[in-house]
Structure 1
Amino acid sequence: MRALVYDDYCDLQGMRLADIPDPAPGPDEVLVEVHAAGINPIDWKVRAGHMRARFELEFPDVAGRDLSGVVVAVGSNVTDLKEGDTVFGTCPPNRWGSHAELIAVEASVVGIKPPEISHIEAASISLVGLTALTALEKTATIQNGMRVLVHAGAGGVGAFAIQYCKSRGATVFATASAGNADFVRRLGADEAIDYRNVDFTEVASDIDVVYDTMGGETHLRSYNVLKPGGLMVCLNAEPIPDEKPRDDIRVETPLVQYDRAGVERIAQLIQTRAVQPSVGTVFFFSDAMDAYRLSETNHARGKIVLRIK
């Protein structure tokens, strides 16, 4: 099979498309023919060695976490999935490899793909959905009437977060570039804040929940917009400063859980039209380097997806 591999921690030039042996599913795994795979910033941050304290790789490594495809074989212990099932999901942190024509993945982390969406769309939504739901449903519990600030609203996680919060009846403020203002408004943002030219602390106020995907100075300034007793949830934000300017604000950095229940929750939200996939740019597998190059600018709108089949 063809796969996107690298032999050590490296920059983009260290990656290559190569023919490697087909994987075989373990007892608790399914073998999936990958039709599409999403690219997330964590993919290249891990490859570059930026997150070695959390993710120690064994080489050669196959990149990628998000996938959508068709089950072609099942492990001896798998009884709830079968050959021919169309599935989507996210590889757990200890196992990568979706940027390949085949992947052996734990059956417990994939679920049935909603028929309403394509493989491209399904491959765009699982990791961002699991991340946003950990922050906004399991930690913050967004409710009708809340005021929420979502940083980086035009990215994959931000786009899911805006839609989810709006579906729960919240008033949503989102930071984005001027060029992405209409995009985040279409997602449901009530106020799009041009972070390059406007100080978000002068626009947003009395905020119940800040979803911080940025960290650093943005994290510290976000204290200014939260109301007393407010909550700042930090996921994918780095670095998180040790400084805490206010004692009346709760700051949470929860861990994302990777399981079928989370994937099925995403499917439910899609089917009720509470959220929809936000696909930005689609690349053929042969152009994977260009896809990663775009991701590494940190300015992609929506999700970047590889068309594998």
Structure 2
Amino acid sequence: MKAMISEKYGKVPLKLADMPVPTVGENDVLAEIHAASINPVDFKIRDGKVRMLTKYHMPLILGNDFSGVIKHVGSRVKRFKVGDEIYGRAAKGRIGTFAEYIAIDESAIALKPQNLSFVEAASIPLVGLTSYQALHDILQVTAGQKVFIPAGAGGVGTFAIQLAKAMNAYVATTTSEAGYKLVKSLGADQIIDYKTEQFDEILHNYDVVFDTIGGETLEKAFKIVKSGGQIVSIAGLPNARFGKEYGSGFLKTNLFRIATHKITKLEKQNNVKYTFLFMKPSGEQLKIITELIESEKIIPVIDREYPFEEAQKAMEYSESGRAKGKIILRIK
């Protein structure tokens, strides 16, 4: 099969190569991939920035989420059949959606929303599951709560705003003037132009923050959350609490503790809980997301589509940080 591979860690251009079709385990389906999504985690994996959490062997087929059609099912697969149109997020140790085929455990997939094309469906799994696990599982957002989601025009932001509004929360976000109309159309209640305004000088007494940027944005978020509130980040660093829960071992957990010393200090000073989220694949949660999409409470937001052969251009555009919504590779 054709696949886009990374031959070594670092900013090395993706290479189109012939790779073996994946072996299908007894709980797997073999999916013919029609479209795949580009996500920031793809270039983080390529650059070796997640090696502390997950190690990969080179050459590596990149890509984390997809949509496609089942071509074969393992002997113990019960919920799916050949011909089903599906979408999903591959397990961290079995990524590889920048390819014509992927073998994936049936627990990580769901039937594709009937009202979405393959391109639209491919935009959903990673950002959808990330947002759901942040807002529903960890933050447990309830109606009327004030939620801050920075970078509202980004891939995760565009989904998270819609999900938070579906949960009847009040949502504030940041974007540039170019992204104002988009985030407004998604339901954002308060929009801050990050180029001319400082969100920590405007927002106060927020219940929770879903951080997608990390760094200074994450640190400033502690100023706007009320005592007893929470911050979840997918862009900050893992802390010792995460290390223990993830089973990272004593050495790595201690390194996480040292690296997040400043964040831990901010937690204590502000009485705000910080959680690092490393999203988990879940077909069951995708089914919930499918219901939200089919009832039109959430719509996909796509910035650009690229043909499979231009995967490197798609990665470069993703790294530019200019995308409003998702970037998609059309594979079939």
TM-score (norm 1): 0.95
Equivalent in the alignment of 2:172: 173
If each structure's helix is expressed as a fraction of its own residues, which one has the higher value?
Answer: 2
Structure 1 position 5 matched with structure 2 position 24: no
Amino acid at match of 1:70: V
In 2: Cα distance, 1:101 partner to 1:66 partner: 13
Contact 1:31 1:104 in 2 (8 A): yes
Contact 1:231 1:249 in 2 (8 A): yes
Question: Which of 279, 284, 288 is matched with 1:261 structurally?
Answer: 284
Pair 48,196 (structure 1): closer, same or farther in 2 beyond 3 Å: same
Amino acid at match of 1:303: K
Contact 2:135 2:141 in 1 (8 A): yes
Q: Give secondary structure in 2 for the equivalent of 1:5.
A: strand
- CA distances 1:84-126 after superposition (whole Å, capped 9, x unpaired): 0000000011111111011111121011001111111110010
Equivalent in the alignment of 1:248: 271
Amino acid at match of 1:150: I
Contact 1:125 1:278 in 2 (8 A): no
Contact 1:69 1:88 in 2 (8 A): yes
Question: How much has 1:239 moved relative to structure 2?
Answer: 7.7
Structure 1 position 135 matched with structure 2 position 158: no
Moved more, 235-244 or 79-88: 235-244
Q: Give secondary structure in 2 for the equivalent of 1:262.
A: helix
Q: Give secondary structure in 2 for the equivalent of 1:301.
A: coil
RMSD of the TM alignment (CA)? Answer: 1.5
Amino acid at match of 2:296: R
Structure 1's unaligned 5+ residue stretches are: none
Moved more, 17-26 or 90-99: 17-26
- CA distances 1:165-207 after superposition (whole Å, capped 9, x unpaired): 1112111100112211111111111111111210111221121
In 2: Cα distance, 1:164 partner to 1:239 partner: 24
Pair 273,242 (structure 1): closer, same or farther in 2 beyond 3 Å: farther
Indicate the percent of aligned positions where both proteins have the same amino acid.
39
Contact 1:12 1:289 in 2 (8 A): no
Structure 1 position 288 matched with structure 2 position 287: no
Structure 1 position 217 matched with structure 2 position 216: yes
Pair 264,200 (structure 1): closer, same or farther in 2 beyond 3 Å: same
In 2: Cα distance, 1:33 partner to 1:184 partner: 34
Equivalent in the alignment of 2:328: 305
Q: Give secondary structure in 2 for the equivalent of 1:120.
A: helix
Contact 1:145 1:169 in 2 (8 A): yes
In 2: Cα distance, 1:170 partner to 1:259 partner: 24
Question: How much has 1:154 moved relative to structure 2?
Answer: 0.9
Equivalent in the alignment of 1:152: 151
Question: How much has 1:27 moved relative to structure 2?
Answer: 1.4
Question: How much has 1:227 moved relative to structure 2?
Answer: 1.8
Mapping of 1:121-132 within 5 angstroms?
121-132=120-131
Moved more, 3-12 or 184-193: 3-12
Moved more, 232-241 or 187-196: 232-241
Structure 1 position 104 matched with structure 2 position 123: no
Equivalent in the alignment of 1:48: 47
Contact 2:222 2:270 in 1 (8 A): no
How many positions carry a matched residue from both structures?
Answer: 308
TM-score (norm 2): 0.89
Equivalent in the alignment of 2:248: none
Moved more, 48-57 or 87-96: 48-57
Structure 2's unaligned 5+ residue stretches are: 240-259
In 1: Cα distance, 2:194 partner to 2:261 partner: 24
Moved more, 52-61 or 251-260: 251-260
Question: How much has 1:307 moved relative to structure 2?
Answer: 0.5
In 2: Cα distance, 1:25 partner to 1:222 partner: 44
Q: Give secondary structure in 1 for the equivalent of 2:48.
A: coil
Contact 2:209 2:225 in 1 (8 A): yes
Q: Give secondary structure in 1 for the equivalent of 2:320.
A: coil
In 2: Cα distance, 1:172 partner to 1:200 partner: 13
Amino acid at match of 1:242: H
Contact 2:37 2:64 in 1 (8 A): yes
- CA distances 1:212-249 after superposition (whole Å, capped 9, x unpaired): 11222111111111122221111233487422332421
In 2: Cα distance, 1:17 partner to 1:167 partner: 40
Pair 208,200 (structure 1): closer, same or farther in 2 beyond 3 Å: same
Contact 1:232 1:249 in 2 (8 A): yes
Question: How much has 1:300 moved relative to structure 2?
Answer: 1.4
Pair 20,49 (structure 1): closer, same or farther in 2 beyond 3 Å: same
